[in-house]
Chains A and B, each alone.
Chain A
Amino acid sequence: MERDDRDREILTRWRPEPPTERERRALEEVDYGDFEIYRNKLELVCWEAYQTFQRMGVSPMIEAGDAAVGIYTRLGDLAVGIMGTQLHLINASIGLKWTMRHFYDEESVGIREGDMFYVNDALYGGIHNSDQILYMPFFVDGELIAWVAAASHEVETGAMEPGGNPPSAESRYDEGLILSPIRIGENYTLRADLMEMMENRIRDPRMQTLDVKARVAACSILERRLHEVVEKKGTEFVIGSMRRMIDEGNDAARKKLAAMNDGIYRSTGFLDNAGSERYGLIQCMVEVEKRGDEAHLRFYGSPRVKDGNFNMYPHMMVAMFACYMYQFLFWELPATTGYYTPFSFEFQKDSFFDADEEDATSLGVATTGQVISLVHEAFEKMKFGSPYHDHVMAPWPGTSSTTAFAGLSTEGVEFGAWDQGQPNGIGQGARWDYDGLDTAGFVWCAIGEYLDVEQIEENYPVAAIFRSRFWRDGPGMGKFRGGRSMTGLYQVRGTPMLYAVVMGGFSGRPMAPGLFGGYPGRPLAGALIRDNNLDELIEQGRVPTDIYEAVERLEGDWQFTHSNWGEEKIYHHDCWIGTAPSGPGYGDVLERDPDLVMKDLREDALSHRFARDIYQVVYDEETLLFDAEATELKRKEERENRIARATAYDDWQPGWAKKRPPERVLQEYGFWPHGSAGRMMLSVEPVSEDYLPVEVRDGLRPPAAGIIRSRDL
């Protein structure tokens, strides 16, 4: 069901708006040398705000740096930012535009200097309600010039299950605190009544308030520093520079795209769940058509899933594209919305990209994190044959999973949390010339930190038995292997009971493909171990130090879980296992340098069986010295064996086409094999050039002042 009073058109305005007359005039005031100096200065300002945000926040996501801050034009387009979490900067833009369109002339609200607005509803420009954005207008002499914003993820939203993204949710009404744009502060002061409303609604009120204040601090720094630049260089310089940042982004993006080979690049993937206990194959097809200096992305072949926390809105996937684009396509360029200009997007109607307004979508972000690996694969295949060949790498392994838990903390206060080491402990995809980075962050944020164990153990009644050993045999194998990830064993200690959910992952199969013959990394899965013998193992000095020892030594009542699993109660001394995905590999395993295979063995990254049987290296298991000549011979034999046991494609295909997966994995699939391909497509383009009346767009009249307060009379 769609309500006609919601503004869905604003969700299509992710591209920069055309320049205003004021911006065109201001551009002429910008000297190129000064522009370069002050562009760098504004970037440094954003770093200052970002680091303050990180140090003040208490949500594990903010503490780890999975956050973003940005400076936006008056019309709401990102001029410069620091990320952190790239997609936040894009969806913040939509929230700002919604505010400009609906509050600028609205007498009961208005936009005033010192206002603080807040949004976390995907239907108003958010991504999911755990991602929360605070934004403030920037005024000079009473004129609205720009906006500043700070965004990050809260690990608790007062939803039906703890953790902010409830796997069992069936509608938006199960997801907790969801705010359309709301002014939560004025005159540079947070309103106590609205903070009370937020605190009252969620399980961890302390975290909510401290994190909102951290956002205010970040925005205040941006605002103060912008005033300093205005004082030094003038208003016109700031307006013109912001526009030039966007325009240069557009020019740079087009130049890079034009250098790549034209054509159509495709990737197909299969998700394995549509929410808790809804497991099975779900197809997704991605097509990138690149012509000249533009690229068109199509997403199709997928069903829409009823009543699961899985679907998304198209702008969520458009925003997710930022995570690929800023990390891998325009990695060397400063962040602006300008890079989006050459891209267009199309989604199949009635697919999981086209959620109903009533749907639960908080785990739709996990869906975007899976699908982006297909976008990544398609673009990297484009990059290989281009001048940017030496930056090719296999995708992130898809989304991360995490085990969220809630209860009473060691200090006796309500909390909701998780170990951010689990989502940020992902291995990156292998590079074209070396292995992937170990525990590199996650798909949404490549600079997120792997927090120390104290972040968990000092704050929560949980002991991390192990969490700092890489997952042996986890990464995708190849000429270069994927980055290694973490696995963890945790135990509830010092509290009678916690609530826990496992959210966001994939367990039936890996999501992200390897590149050019590399294999994907392993999928994820959790386990709860109740009535266990861990205390005895501790007494015996046989504490498990990795997942293999945990499986071997821990005795008890094992309950194996998919990595998207609804609420469980866990009790004092219960244990659980958490896993993070390792990166996909690159290239043929038979081309891996035997030296690197021996290095993997020395570093406990690999088991002998794979060194011997998959990498086909001849070596001494004691000394780890390999025989180069024998290895070359063995690999030559294996290549000959491959040809001997394989079948010509045209002979193989008819038999293959007759096969079909078992019905139990096709419950959510749609029509086999093409799913829902061929249905109508939904283009995500604005219907009008201007989203504001001309006088508002060009600043010919000021915003409404809002309700007149008694002291103003």
Chain B
Amino acid sequence: MSRVHITEYLDIDTDRELWLCNRCGQELIGARENYKRGCVVYERDPDEIMPPIYPPEKTEFYLGVSPGYGVFVEFYCPGCGIMIENELLPEGYPPTHDLELDIDALKAKAEQA
């Protein structure tokens, strides 16, 4: 198996063309897919991470995420629960397909190595 480290928490198995969790080796999804589809997802209230500093009853700009401006969408490895990525998205906005690697080029590079 040829395993290439791609991000802090993601590897690609170039032989089997699979995204893997770097920490536990869990197989997520095909390497030509959006790896987020192989994760489990949780919506987190941003006030848990950035509770208001100014009084929210007096201003919407309270040094946190204003109501309506987004929630944290957290992507975890289904095997070990590590947070692979998160996005602060307006509700309903599609998650970003952030990594679309040229798998053929990656395989050729791995073979050369």
**B73 surroundings in chain A (CB, below 8 A):** 656
Nearest A residue to B11, CB-CB:
A385
A83 contacts B by Cβ under 8 Å: no
Query: Are A560 and B54 within 8 A (Cβ)?
Result: yes
Query: Are B42 and A647 within 8 A (Cβ)?
Result: yes
Query: Are A516 and B84 within 8 A (Cβ)?
Result: yes
CB distance from A519 to the nearest CB of B (A): 5
CB distance from A460 to the nearest CB of B (A): 26
Query: Are A517 and B9 within 8 A (Cβ)?
Result: yes
**B49 surroundings in chain A (CB, below 8 A):** 477, 519, 614
Query: Are A588 and B83 within 8 A (Cβ)?
Result: yes
Partner pick for B37 among A264, A477, A515, A649, CB 8 A cutoff:
A649
Bitwise, A570-587 to B at CB < 8 A (1) or not (0) is 000000000100000011
Query: Are A661 and B83 within 8 A (Cβ)?
Result: no
Q: How far is the CA of A642 from the CA of B44 in the complex (A)?
A: 11
Query: Are B53 and A657 within 8 A (Cβ)?
Result: no
Query: Are B70 and A509 within 8 A (Cβ)?
Result: yes
- Contact size range, B: 35 or more
Query: Are B53 and A639 within 8 A (Cβ)?
Result: no
Partner pick for A522 among B7, B64, B85, B99, CB 8 A cutoff:
B64
Query: Are A508 and B83 within 8 A (Cβ)?
Result: no
Q: What total of chain A residues lie within 8 Å of the partner, measured CB to CB?
A: 78
Bitwise, A330-366 to B at CB < 8 A (1) or not (0) is 0000000000000000000000000000000000000
Interface residues of B in 49-67 (CB under 8 A from A): 49-50, 53-54, 58-67
Q: How far is the CA of A508 from the CA of B96 in the complex (A)?
A: 20
B105 contacts A by Cβ under 8 Å: yes
Q: How far is the CA of A263 from the CA of B53 in the complex (A)?
A: 41
Partner pick for B8 among A384, A656, A657, CB 8 A cutoff:
A384
Nearest B residue to A559, CB-CB:
B59
CB distance from B104 to the nearest CB of A (A): 9
**How many CB-defined contacts (below 8 Å) exist between A and B?**
199
B100 contacts A by Cβ under 8 Å: yes
Partner pick for B102 among A261, A510, A561, A591, CB 8 A cutoff:
A261
**A510 surroundings in chain B (CB, below 8 A):** 65, 88
Q: How far is the CA of A551 from the CA of B52 in the complex (A)?
A: 11
* Stretch of A237-245, A266-274, A678-686 with 4 or more beta carbons under 8 angstroms from chain B: A266-274
A665 contacts B by Cβ under 8 Å: yes
Query: Are B96 and A661 within 8 A (Cβ)?
Result: no
CB distance from B37 to the nearest CB of A (A): 5
* Stretch of A61-69, A170-178, A523-531 with 4 or more beta carbons under 8 angstroms from chain B: A523-531
Query: Are B5 and A385 within 8 A (Cβ)?
Result: yes
Main secondary structure of the interface of A (DSSP, over half): mixed
Interface residues of A in 660-712 (CB under 8 A from B): 660-662, 664-665, 672-673
Query: Are B88 and A509 within 8 A (Cβ)?
Result: yes
Q: How far is the CA of A589 from the CA of B36 in the complex (A)?
A: 19
A16 contacts B by Cβ under 8 Å: no
Query: Are A639 and B81 within 8 A (Cβ)?
Result: yes
Query: Are B37 and A661 within 8 A (Cβ)?
Result: no
**A673 surroundings in chain B (CB, below 8 A):** 90, 92-94
Query: Are A385 and B6 within 8 A (Cβ)?
Result: yes
CB distance from A216 to the nearest CB of B (A): 43
Query: Are A642 and B76 within 8 A (Cβ)?
Result: yes
**A620 surroundings in chain B (CB, below 8 A):** none
Binding site for A on B (CB under 8 A): 4-9, 36-43, 46, 48-50, 53-54, 58-70, 72-76, 78, 80-88, 90-94, 96-102, 105-106, 109
**Interface contacts beyond A262-B102, A673-B94: sample of 13 additional A-B pairs, CB < 8 Å, sorted by A:** A266-B98, A385-B7, A508-B65, A509-B46, A515-B8, A527-B54, A590-B83, A640-B81, A642-B83, A643-B78, A645-B42, A656-B73, A661-B91
24 contacts between A and B (CB under 8 A): A261-B102, A263-B105, A266-B97, A268-B87, A378-B98, A473-B50, A509-B46, A514-B86, A517-B8, A517-B9, A517-B84, A517-B86, A522-B53, A525-B61, A560-B62, A588-B82, A638-B81, A639-B82, A642-B40, A643-B76, A647-B41, A647-B42, A649-B40, A661-B92
